[in-house]
Amino acid sequence: MKMRKVIPANGWLQIQLAFLIFIASPSFSQQKDSILTARKWPTSGLNQHDFLYAGEWQGSSFKDQKMFIVKHGKVVWEYSMPEDGEYGDIALLPNGHILFSRKTGASEITMDKKIVWNYKAENNAEIHVCQPVGLDKVFIVMNAVPAKAIILNKVTGKVEKELILPTGGTNPHVMFRRCRFTAAGTFLVGHLDMNKVSEYDSTGKEIWSVPAPSVWSVSRLENGNTLVGGNQHCYVREFNKAGNIVWELTQKDVPEIKLFNIQEVVRLKNGNTVISNWCAGTLKNKEDQKGTVQFFEVTKDKKIVWILSSWDHPDLGPASAIQILE
């Protein structure tokens, strides 16, 4: 007759300890809900950077949309849009004013919240691009039929440059988001409804293009490469001048964080990348949205060095746009 092997009491303790070590291991944690895992991470939260912050669709309507300035870990300034709107581009200017798009137009306000410049979109057009060009000019994109890239002088009110942009359809809301006027005087355009990034010269001729599904944001880096954020496709890609992907981040690179919509992407001077992970404010109380990471920062080798889950701090709302105040 076979004898059963009896495990001593201290053996059971060893088994239990081994199990606890297993469930705490990264391989097991990655199989759990990624958001709950992310919530347990040590993070410097609001203390990592000083920044200007805004997001679109913060609640159940376009009312009471807010943006914030955070310094030394505290909200030091906030602004509520006086009319229904949707924040897109935001920029703190050297003179202390803030320039921002609001879907139905674009505005510039002072720190004491006085509007010093205002621009209204034509008819049913939308404006989600509003980039300062010095202090006196602004680059905007009019989502419309036809769509237009415009350099506007805020002082004189005159249009100094206007290009007609091709579109993939007639719905203004899905045409363009973060486009950029480059230092070389070209127009770097993310065609959201055409799934590509194109660069146009001053005459409107396309001089460079790469495929980019659901492209949300584009920016020209100091090394001449182009950084792209891929919205619901949840990717960040860096393209070189030849159109090759030289750096990419996707969900598999950050299993600890649940990605929703990659919107603005910012390359910092130290080489790190700050990434917006937009999730509508109407979803924040749903079980699988709790603890959503609004922004995170990764190194070149994709090590996460900062996460900001703003719903766990003062509620800053969803994350579409950020300006790191370096």
- Structure token pair of residue 254: 């950050």
Q: What CATH code would you report for 34-324?
A: 2.120.10.30
Match 């943006």 to its residue by tokens: 67
Q: List the domain boundaries for the chain.
A: 34-324
Q: Which of 279, 290, 292 is nearest to 320 (CA)?
A: 279
Alpha-helix residue ranges (DSSP H) falling in the chain: 9-23, 26-29, 34-39
Q: Do residues 68 and 77 lie in contact, with contact meaning Cβ atoms separated by under 8 Å?
A: yes
Residue 99, both tokens: 């320039």
pLDDT at 289 (0 to 100): 65
**pLDDT tens track, the chain, 326 positions:** 444 444 444 443 443 444 333 334 444 334 334 443 444 554 568 889 999 999 887 776 677 889 999 999 999 999 999 888 899 999 999 999 999 999 999 999 999 999 999 999 988 999 999 999 998 999 999 999 999 999 999 999 999 999 999 999 999 999 999 999 999 999 999 999 999 999 999 999 999 999 999 999 999 999 999 999 999 999 999 999 999 999 999 999 999 889 999 999 999 999 999 999 998 876 766 666 666 889 999 999 999 999 988 777 788 888 899 999 97
Taking the CB of residue 194, how many other CB atoms lie within 10 A of it? Answer: 21
d(CA 273, CA 217): 13
Can you give the pLDDT at residue 41? 54
* 8 Å CB contact between 278 and 318: yes
Alpha-carbon gap, residue 89 to 99, rounded angstroms: 8
Residue 196 near residue 188, CB atoms below 8 Å: no
What pLDDT, on a 0 to 100 scale, did the predictor assign at position 319? Answer: 87
Helix and strand numbers (H, E) in the chain are 3, 24
Q: What DSSP line would sit under 197-252, residue for residue?
A: EEEE-TTS-EEEEEE-TT--EEEE-TTS-EEEE-BTT--EEEE-TTS-EEEEE-GG
Residues 300, 221, 307, 246, CA torsion sign: negative
For the entire predicted model, the pTM comes to 0.85
Quick one: pLDDT at residue 90?
Answer: 97
Rounded alpha-carbon distances, angstroms, from residue 130 to 102, 219, 266, 290: 9, 13, 16, 31
Q: What is the pLDDT at residue 11?
A: 46
Contact by Cβ (8 Å): 285, 34 = no
Contact 102, 134 (CB under 8 A): no
